[in-house]
Structure 1
Amino acid sequence: MMFRVLAADFLKIRRKAIWFLIFLGPIGVIALQAANYGLRYDYLMEKYAANPWGAFLGNIQFLLPVTILLGIAIIASMVANIEHQMNSWKQLLALPIARASVFSAKFTLCVLMLLISCILLGIGIVGLGLGLKLGTDVPLISVIKLSFYPFIASLPALALQLWLSVTMRNQALPLTVGILGGVVSTYASNMPDWFLWKLPLLTNHAGIPEYSVVAGLAVGIVIFAIGLLHFTRRDVN
């Protein structure tokens, strides 16, 4: 049943600006890094001659948390707002479809679209790195981790943003929470490891990025479950 709802959701966003945002995120990150190297190419190549790919990936990693968190807030809001704008929540929930399927389909839609952004980011990283002549020994494992780890660690934020966006007709509060979360993430490196908006930074006291990824996945499932339970038990205007 969820897959039928998911297919319908894909049709609803077919001609929406949301697809522009899916491409804008990774393109923006790559463009900023291209500008960075374009302006300081000789300096950066000389400074990081011992490990040009490592420095390149490190600079990109600095941009990702705020980009992902802001993107999550906007995309979750746009996905939920389709129903709000058309006043179709009551009609949708009156159909012989489980509420859990509706909420799960919205969450899955967001995840799939953001995964597309992650794939585009990985392709862009490799393409730009080769274009900058950083070397043909592309660290593919590091590129894959950089492309997907921050997103997986951001799943709690996605679950929270979708929960707020679906249950609130006025999207001002969900967007405010998302924007503040993105801004706070840039200063969150010294926050406790359990701080939700620190997880995408992949920094923790153990110094193991995978801990943040696993924590993000686990907490994301918990928040999703709470949001799902709340959605199934309340009226949506």
Structure 2
Amino acid sequence: MRVLVTGASGALGRDVVPVLRGAGHEVRALSRVARPDQDGVSWVRGDLATGEGLVPALHDVDTVVHLASAPYRRGYTREVDVEGTRRLAADARAAGVRHLLYVSIVGADVVPWGYFRIKVQAERIVRSSGPAWTVLRATQFYSLIDAVLRAAARLPVIPYDPGIGSQAVHTGDVARRLLELLTAGPSHDVVEFGGPEVLGLREAARQWLEVSERRRVLVPVRVPGSLGAAFRAGPFVTTAEPTGTLTWREYLASHPAGA
């Protein structure tokens, strides 16, 4: 089938596009800047924040895999994630797209955090104003945890809240799960997906330090207030199956810290 992927150049998109191509799908990748076609992928120019280019990008498309997001950029985040999703859903419906597959975040519906609330608003738009739909809520990506620890390691100590657990997942595993959902067709359901193991933040940081051969002191610090309480309630884990297969340690072995 012909699939339009938004956010194709992002952390998840870079794994999703080759997975879809490997399965024989015709991939059309949306970008705000012009890019040359490469490796069988047709790049088209379009901007969710303005709507420019969305109508021609959606022409003759069967499925949209909507990955694009602009986290923590204030008003621009809302323009892309909420209003951009609204534009995309409306234009997809008008174009006769049969399936809109949207990626959100496990815990977005229970954590009182601005960006998570925006993701839930986008979910509601996908569910109510577009074509047939599926929402995949994924846990945090290994690449994000890795980046946070690299930043923290600039200091001699790494703080962690001992009550917070994580079931982070590799983007390659998420890409393969998306392919399964795309193949199955619209579910009109919210599906969750996480990594193969639940780790406390201390253990995640300890493994990161061990693999990166760095020495830092791990200091327990409770995240204060209602946000900390929400984090400790376990919103970043899921009992959903299947799960990803690549462990945190395996990811670290193939992504050396500082590389």
Could you state the TM-score of these two structures normalised by the residue count of structure 1? 0.34
Structure with the largest fraction of strand? 2
Structure with the largest fraction of helix? 1
Structure number with higher relative contact order (C-alpha < 8 Å, ≥ 6 residues apart): 1
